[in-house]
């Protein structure tokens, strides 16, 4: 009896045994393997993690088409800020790191760049590695909250393409003035008849209303992002809408904040996305 039992246990299993599942037959396994790269390392592979999403033309590589790594606005800013060599710079909303790259190459001792958009932040980190930035630090977070908390001072602030994405742009100007004596700003401003004449902009226009910030009375013009929110390349603020300032209110707000020495650079009333202005504002003596 014992021999018969041991012989039975040693017998080969029937051929009908269920085979081990393949990677393809288990949900999720094939997908996770798709995240691996099988080519030799290259900068282009890193950029291709966001293929089709880049705004910036990255030097020597294939990305977007906008020349943010060689931007005439930043060259003008550096010149009219009196240079940035050896200076500590705060950059608001670096997007993909192009302006950060230019500031570092212009001699900045350090650049702290704060980005709230998580996709843009990751692209900044990729750009930092790809182009070899050494003195830039990218922080993920809301620069409005950073400025509201106060803290360290900077030799200059770069606010290129961010003011018109704020819900309270005058508060941003006040908070910038608390941590620096000079700022570069490039922004759109509201001329309602001009913006209303642009087909893709007119449907985003909202109402205007009078507001007050720190004793400064001004008019805010609502801008709804609308269909711009439907793309992974969205490059606006963190809410469904923002407020634009008019030109006169923008300049008056800077003076109210104590940055009344204003040098105006290029201004384009017929820009494809609405009137825009480039300026450097310094603290008045």
Q: What is the pLDDT of residue 28?
A: 65
Q: Please, what sign has the CA dihedral across residues 41, 234, 201, 267?
A: negative
Look up the pTM and report it.
Answer: 0.88
Quick check: 131 and 158 in contact, CB under 8 A? no
What angle, rounded to 10 degrees, do the helices at 247-256 and 169-179 form? 30
Once rounded to an integer, what is the mean pLDDT over residues 205-229?
Answer: 95
**Which residues lie closer than 8 Å to 123 by C-beta, 6 or more apart?**
50, 53, 54, 95, 96, 97
> Is the per-residue pLDDT at 6 higher than 70?
no
What is the spatial distance between Cα 268 and Cα 2, in angstroms, rounded to a whole number?
Answer: 98
Q: In degrees rounded to 5, what are phi and psi of residue 263?
A: -110, 120
- pLDDT tens digits along 85-96: 999 999 999 999
Q: What is the pLDDT of residue 23?
A: 53
Higher pLDDT, 46 or 8: 46
Q: Please, what sign has the CA dihedral across residues 278, 134, 111, 43?
A: positive
Higher pLDDT, 8 or 25: 25
Q: What is the pLDDT of residue 146?
A: 97
> Is the per-residue pLDDT at 2 higher than 60?
no
Token look-up 């809301």 returns 142
What is the spatial distance between Cα 29 and Cα 241, in angstroms, rounded to a whole number?
Answer: 40
Q: What is the pLDDT of residue 22?
A: 56
Q: What is the pLDDT of residue 256?
A: 97
- pLDDT tens digits along 133-184: 999 999 999 999 999 998 799 999 999 999 999 999 999 999 999 999 999 9
Domains of the chain in sequence order: 43-189+247-282 (3.40.50.150)
**Which residues lie closer than 8 Å to 12 by C-beta, 6 or more apart?**
none
Give the long-range contacts of residues 127-130, CB within 8 A, separation 24 or more.
127/56, 127/58, 127/96, 127/97, 127/98, 127/100, 127/101, 128/97, 128/100, 129/46, 130/43, 130/46, 130/47, 130/58, 130/61
Higher pLDDT, 224 or 233: 224
Once rounded to an integer, what is the mean pLDDT over residues 269-274?
Answer: 96
Q: In degrees rounded to 5, what are phi and psi of residue 204?
A: -95, -5
Distances (CA, A) of 187 to 154, 271, 275: 21, 11, 8
- If pLDDT is split at 50, 70 and 90, which confidence band does 231 have? confident
- pLDDT tens digits along 43-86: 999 999 999 999 999 999 999 999 999 999 999 999 999 999 99
Reading the block at residue 196, the tokens are 């209303």
- pLDDT tens digits along 97-116: 999 999 999 999 999 999 99
What's the whole-number average pLDDT of the chain? Answer: 91
Query: What's the length of the chain?
Result: 285
Once rounded to an integer, what is the mean pLDDT over residues 115-120?
Answer: 97
């Amino acid at each position: 009896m014992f021999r018969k039992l041991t012989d039975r246990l040693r017998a080969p299993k029937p051929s009908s045994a269920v085979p081990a599942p393949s990677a393809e037959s288990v949900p999720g396994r094939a997908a996770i393997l798709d995240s691996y790269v099988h080519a030799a390392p290259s900068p282009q592979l890193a950029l291709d993690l966001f293929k089709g999403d880049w705004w910036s033309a990255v030097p020597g590589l294939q990305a977007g088409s906008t020349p943010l790594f060689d931007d005439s606005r930043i060259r003008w800013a550096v010149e009219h800020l009196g240079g940035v060599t050896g200076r500590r710079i705060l950059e608001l909303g670096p997007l993909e790191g192009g302006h950060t790259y230019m500031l570092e190459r212009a001699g900045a001792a350090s650049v702290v760049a704060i980005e709230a958009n998580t996709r843009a932040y990751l692209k900044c980190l990729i750009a930092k590695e790809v182009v070899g930035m050494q003195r830039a630090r990218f922080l993920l977070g809301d620069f409005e909250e950073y400025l509201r908390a106060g803290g360290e001072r900077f030799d200059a602030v770069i606010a290129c393409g961010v003011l018109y994405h704020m819900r309270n742009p005058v508060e941003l100007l006040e908070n910038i003035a608390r941590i620096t004596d000079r700022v570069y700003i490039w922004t759109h401003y509201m001329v309602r008849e001009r913006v209303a004449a642009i087909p893709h902009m007119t449907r985003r226009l909202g109402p205007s209303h009078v507001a007050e910030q720190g004793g400064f009375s001004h008019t805010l013009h609502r801008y709804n992002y609308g269909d711009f929110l439907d793309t992974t390349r969205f490059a606006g603020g963190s809410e469904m809408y923002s407020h634009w300032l008019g030109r006169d209110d923008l300049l008056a707000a800077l003076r109210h904040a104590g940055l009344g020495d204003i040098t105006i650079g290029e201004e384009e009333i017929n820009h494809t996305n609405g009137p825009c202005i480039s300026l450097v504002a310094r603290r008045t003596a």
